[in-house]
Structure 1
Amino acid sequence: MKASWDIFCTVVDNYGDIGVTWRLARQLVAEHGLAVRLWVDDLNAFVPLCPAADANAEQQWHEGVDVRHWPAAWSATSPAEVVIGAFACQLPPAYIEAMSAQATPPLWLNLEYLSAEDWVEGCHGLPSPQPNGLRKVFFFPGFTARTGGLLREASVLASRDSLQSAPKQRAEFLAGLGVQVAPGSRLLSLFAYENRQLGSWLQALAAGTQATHLLVPQGRILADLAAWLEVATLAPGALHQRGALTVQVVPFVSQGDYDKLLWACDFNAVRGEDSFVRAQWAAVPMLWHIYVQDENAHWEKLEAFLALYRQGLSDPASVALTALWRAWNIDGDMGQAWQALQPHWDELQTHAREWAVAQAAQPDLATALVHFCRNSL
């Protein structure tokens, strides 16, 4: 029989939590032959990532994953052999009671948020005994060999290379989204939270000498974009020209198509955790809009990643990249930071690919989880 896993996801940040757990569940089924139930408390956030899904179904199957609605009134359910609470979500009390009643209690993992902070290595894999006798283990994704790695399907890098090395394939994919890029234009994508610095960046793009085509998937940044364009609303298909800048709104797409969108672009601005990791596999320059946390704890996470990511860059390129990321996240002058980045574009392109190669040399998160669980069980 297949080993059984339960993954619990509480939707907090629109698509970040469900984005990570949906990718993980699919990979555990497809590449490791496991029986996976994905419990989601808000299926409305799941449907945009999996268009075939039904937001009202209590149970449904997609790509081999048993997707369940996580109801407020929990009913009796037999626990799986491995139980994952994603991002410190609280499991149903009745489910925890059922876990403790098992002759052989399940392996209970708390899948933590991604961080490059130094303390993560020391906490990865640490047990946390519970008052009821169960043991919960902290499992940290990360960027070093002493963490759990990053989500990376076995085929993702080859698929990326196939699209990036075939201009016709790239153009056909973009055409499917209604996108036609003028020869010589640089293609950018923008997926971000609300940001007061958007206007200064867009103005720099519009006033620049480099023709730029900016693709903006549906999301929270659209209100700021509409304000800068001085239009009431923006919907998929909207196309606006301002100087050297063409802005186009594209539909929210499935995870597979979003990966392709990132691969097709020359630069990607992303947010949160899921799109942040996928932008790294795209192996092109990127900009991360980190999720804001209480007491500005996110700044430490931002700086910790930058300290890792900029290793190997020349000092001028490192300074320019750091200034851009800080401007985007801490209300700096994005226009000035963007202009200062341009002389280092070729170096940043090379560096992005080298970073992806280095990260791909480590075990991926799903494989690391499976090996950890097999050794523990």
Structure 2
Amino acid sequence: MQRCDIFCTVIDNFGDIGVCWRLARQLQQQYQMQVRLFVDELQALQMLCPQAALLPYQQLEQIDVYHWQPAAEQQQTTDPTPCSADFSPEAIADLVIEAFACELPARYIDAMATVATRGKQPHWLNLEYLATEDWADDCHGLTSMHPANGLRKQFYFPGFSPRTGGLLCEANLLNERDTWQADPQQRATLLQRLGVEWDTSTNQRDPLLISLFAYQNPAVAALLQTLSMSTNPVLCLVPEGKILPQVATALGCAPLRRGDCLQQGNLTVQVLPFLEQRDYDQLLWSCDLNLVRGEDSFVRAQWAGRPLIWQIYPQADDAHLDKLEAFLQRYSQTLPPALATQVLTCWRAWNQPDSAHPDWAALLAALADWQHDARRWAETLLKQGDLAANMLQFLQNHSD
């Protein structure tokens, strides 16, 4: 398998393009595949990869990136202009990934059908959202037939069970993490590059380092209040994002911007720029506790082998809470009972601010114990294989 086309529409925030960009890079770098990435919002990719430009076509890290406008494709109009990529049968990839049910262009599907009449259909996968519930075991790998041309599409679920597709993880990621975490100078260099200053003249001890990347969340006020009353210094690093207005309200300050640094009690809060993926991975490796949101940062926080709290993307009718609980049942099984109770309470309160009153101070006091379990959890996940390798093996097993 030599060529892969990935189609992505950015629904909200950065999780969709974050996953697709990581997968595209891994397939190109680790498996030497020729990858084309089609994305409808280049601004979102630009946040994760600052080298990206707002162009119809560009090559980034040996990946061909096209601006894809689904509305123009569907309407067959020239204003806006449909994607400029070659969609002839000869250009169709061996592996076609429709990320998160984004729907391929009709002319691309027609070209796939033409290829199929010549003897072999391209592998067509619908890459689904991260699954935590047991039903995904039975849905992973199911086939759907296109009603007009009979093309086969299979559903591929990232997940935590051996019967799902696993999680994105580059071949040497955990070794790089371990090397980083064994060298304190790496963390110091990263923080300096991000503009983080820690006044060692008044703070003789290294701070407890926390990253906070979240959607809007009223629970942040209670967390920051607890941190401000900590007996140890705390440095909370907040990448630019939707949580900033509520952080400002909790601190009683003017609207926050990149580079702002405020102190309240024993807590120092500093606003970071929105980080590209490599820098964000290293920030997760550097922190003692990571509060993350969505799916891409959630998975990367688990590979960091550090304590984490996940804010799941909210859905209508609280459907996301079943997904949250399913993960918590898996995750808490590896924790000592007392720690598991604390983790469950804090995670639930972070996602349902009116449901409980967590003891943040007790959880922070247990971070050292939680640290060991977090590393073991990452090692357990790795035994299931990584998503890209599992995907290619899946395709080999299902080849005609």
TM range (shorter): over 0.9
Q: Residue 288 of structure 1: SS of its match in structure 2?
A: strand
Q: Residue 215 of structure 1: SS of its match in structure 2?
A: strand
The equivalent residue for 2:40 is 41
CA distance in 1, matches of 2:301, 2:321: 20
The equivalent residue for 1:325 is 347
Q: Which deviates further from its counterpart, 57-66 or 223-232?
A: 223-232
TM-score with structure 2 length normalisation?
0.91
**Cα gap change, 1:166/1:345 in structure 2, threshold over 3 Å: closer, same or farther?**
same
CA distance in 2, matches of 1:295, 1:271: 19
Q: Which deviates further from its counterpart, 99-108 or 2-11?
A: 99-108
Percent identical across equivalent pairs? 50
- The counterpart of 1:85, out of the listed 89, 98, 103, is 98
Q: Contact 1:11–1:41 (CA<8 Å) still a contact in 2?
A: yes
- The amino acid across from 1:80 in the alignment is A
CA distance in 2, matches of 1:334, 1:167: 37
CA distance in 2, matches of 1:369, 1:148: 7
Q: How many residues align?
A: 375
- The counterpart of 1:167, out of the listed 180, 184, 190, is 184
Residues 131-178 of structure 1: CA deviation (Å, up to 9, x unaligned): 020111000111121111100011211111111111112111111111
Q: Which deviates further from its counterpart, 330-339 or 137-146?
A: 330-339
Residues 11-55 of structure 1: CA deviation (Å, up to 9, x unaligned): 012211000000000000000111111100010100011101102
- The counterpart of 1:312, out of the listed 334, 337, 351, is 334
CA distance in 1, matches of 2:87, 2:237: 44
**Cα gap change, 1:143/1:336 in structure 2, threshold over 3 Å: closer, same or farther?**
closer
Unaligned runs of 5+ in 2: 74-81
The equivalent residue for 2:162 is 145
- The amino acid across from 2:111 in the alignment is A
- The amino acid across from 2:134 in the alignment is D
The equivalent residue for 1:369 is 391
- The counterpart of 1:94, out of the listed 88, 95, 107, is 107
| Cα shift at 1:94 | 2.0
Q: Residue 124 of structure 2: SS of its match in structure 1?
A: strand
CA distance in 2, matches of 1:172, 1:334: 39
| Cα shift at 1:180 | 3.2
CA distance in 2, matches of 1:309, 1:358: 11
The equivalent residue for 1:135 is 152
Q: Contact 1:197–1:333 (CA<8 Å) still a contact in 2?
A: no
Please give the residue correspondences for 1:142-291 in structure 2 after superposition, counting only pairs within 5 Å: 142-181=159-198, 182=203, 183-291=205-313
Q: Contact 1:327–1:337 (CA<8 Å) still a contact in 2?
A: no
**Cα gap change, 1:269/1:334 in structure 2, threshold over 3 Å: closer, same or farther?**
farther
**Cα gap change, 1:168/1:209 in structure 2, threshold over 3 Å: closer, same or farther?**
same
- The amino acid across from 1:5 in the alignment is C
- The amino acid across from 1:169 in the alignment is Q
- The counterpart of 2:382, out of the listed 354, 360, 365, is 360
CA distance in 2, matches of 1:321, 1:38: 38
- The amino acid across from 2:93 in the alignment is A
CA distance in 2, matches of 1:191, 1:33: 33
- Rg (Cα) greater in structure: 2
CA distance in 2, matches of 1:191, 1:342: 18
Unaligned runs of 5+ in 1: none
Q: Residue 47 of structure 2: SS of its match in structure 1?
A: coil
CA distance in 1, matches of 2:184, 2:64: 37
The equivalent residue for 1:351 is 373
Q: Contact 2:215–2:311 (CA<8 Å) still a contact in 1?
A: yes
Q: Contact 2:334–2:377 (CA<8 Å) still a contact in 1?
A: no
The equivalent residue for 2:14 is 15
Residues 227-278 of structure 1: CA deviation (Å, up to 9, x unaligned): 2222332111100000011000011121001000100100000000000000
- The amino acid across from 2:326 in the alignment is A
- The amino acid across from 1:65 in the alignment is I
Query: Is 1:3 the equivalent of 2:16?
Result: no
Q: Residue 248 of structure 1: SS of its match in structure 2?
A: strand
Q: Which has the higher contact order (CA 8 A, sep 6+)?
A: 1
Residues 294-333 of structure 1: CA deviation (Å, up to 9, x unaligned): 2211001100100011112121111110000000001147
Q: Residue 178 of structure 2: SS of its match in structure 1?
A: helix
TM-score with structure 1 length normalisation?
0.96
CA distance in 2, matches of 1:341, 1:242: 20
